[in-house]
Amino acid sequence: MSALRFQLFGKLLIQKDAQALNGLEGRKEQELLCYLLVHPDRPHPREMLASLLWSDTSTEKSRKYLRQALWHLHSMLKPARPVNTEVLSAEHDWVQLNLNGDCWIDVTAFERAFADTQGVSGKSLDQNGAQSLKNAVELYKGDLLDGWYHDWCLFERERLQNMYLTMLDKLMTYSMEHKEYETGFTYGATILRYDRASERTYRQLMLMKYSAGDRTGALRLYDRCVAALAEELAVEPEGRTTALYEKIRTGSIDNSQTTDQIPHDASLTEVLGRLKRLQLVLTAVQKRVQRDIAAVEQGFKTLK
Where are the domains positioned within the chain? 4-104, 128-282
Instruction: Give the Cα separation of 93 and 38 in Å (integer).
Output: 20
The pLDDT of 23-40, averaged and rounded, is 92
* Between residues 259 and 127, the one the model is more confident about: 127
Q: Can you give the pLDDT at residue 23?
A: 83
Q: Which residues contact 87 (CB under 8 A, 6 or more apart)?
A: 4, 77, 78, 80, 81, 97, 98, 99, 103
Instruction: Give the Cα separation of 284 and 210 in Å (integer).
Output: 42
Q: DSSP string of the chain?
A: --SEEEE-BSS-EEEETTEE--S---HHHHHHHHHHHHSTTS-EEHHHHHHHH-TTS-HHHHHHHHHHHHHHHHHHHGGGS-GGG-SEEE-SSEEEE---TTEEEHHHHHHHHHHHTTT--TTT--HHHHHHHHHHHHH--SSBTTT---HHHHHHHHHHHHHHHHHHHHHHHHHHHTT-HHHHHHHHHHHHHH-TT-HHHHHHHHHHHHHTT-HHHHHHHHHHHHHHHHHHTS-PPPHHHHHHHHHHHHT---HHHHHPPPP----HHHHHHHHHHHHHHHHHHHHHHHHHHHHHHHHHHHH-
Residue 256 has pLDDT above 60, yes or no: no
Q: Can you give the pLDDT at residue 284?
A: 58
Q: Can you give the pLDDT at residue 182?
A: 96
The pLDDT of 30-34, averaged and rounded, is 96
Residue 303 has pLDDT above 60, yes or no: no
- Fold of the domain built from segment(s) 128-282: 1.25.40
**Number of neighbouring beta carbons within 10 Å of residue 10:** 16
Each residue's pLDDT tens digit, 167-202: 999 999 999 999 999 999 999 999 999 999 999 999
Pairing between strand 4-7 and 103-105? Answer: parallel
Residue 253 has pLDDT above 80, yes or no: yes
- Fold of the domain built from segment(s) 4-104: Arc Repressor Mutant, subunit A (1.10.10)
Q: Can you give the pLDDT at residue 2?
A: 56
Instruction: Give the Cα separation of 239 and 243 in Å (integer).
Output: 6
State the chain's maximal CA–CA distance in angstroms: 79
Residue 285 has pLDDT above 90, yes or no: no
Q: Can you give the pLDDT at residue 90?
A: 86
Q: How many alpha carbons fall within 13 Å on the CB side of residue 192? A: 20
Q: Can you give the pLDDT at residue 259?
A: 42
Each residue's pLDDT tens digit, 81-132: 454 567 888 888 999 988 776 789 999 999 999 999 999 999 999 999 999 9
Q: Can you give the pLDDT at residue 91?
A: 87
Q: Which residues contact 37 (CB under 8 A, 6 or more apart)?
A: 6, 8, 97, 105, 107
Q: Can you give the pLDDT at residue 82?
A: 55
Pairing between strand 88-90 and 44-45? Answer: unpaired
The pLDDT of 270-289, averaged and rounded, is 60
**Number of neighbouring beta carbons within 10 Å of residue 89:** 13
Percent of the chain with pLDDT over 70: 80
Q: Can you give the pLDDT at residue 80?
A: 46
Torsion sign (Cα): 124, 127, 128, 131: positive
**Residue 263 binned pLDDT confidence (cut-offs 50, 70, 90):** very low
Q: Which residues contact 250 (CB under 8 A, 6 or more apart)?
A: none
Q: Can you give the pLDDT at residue 302?
A: 52
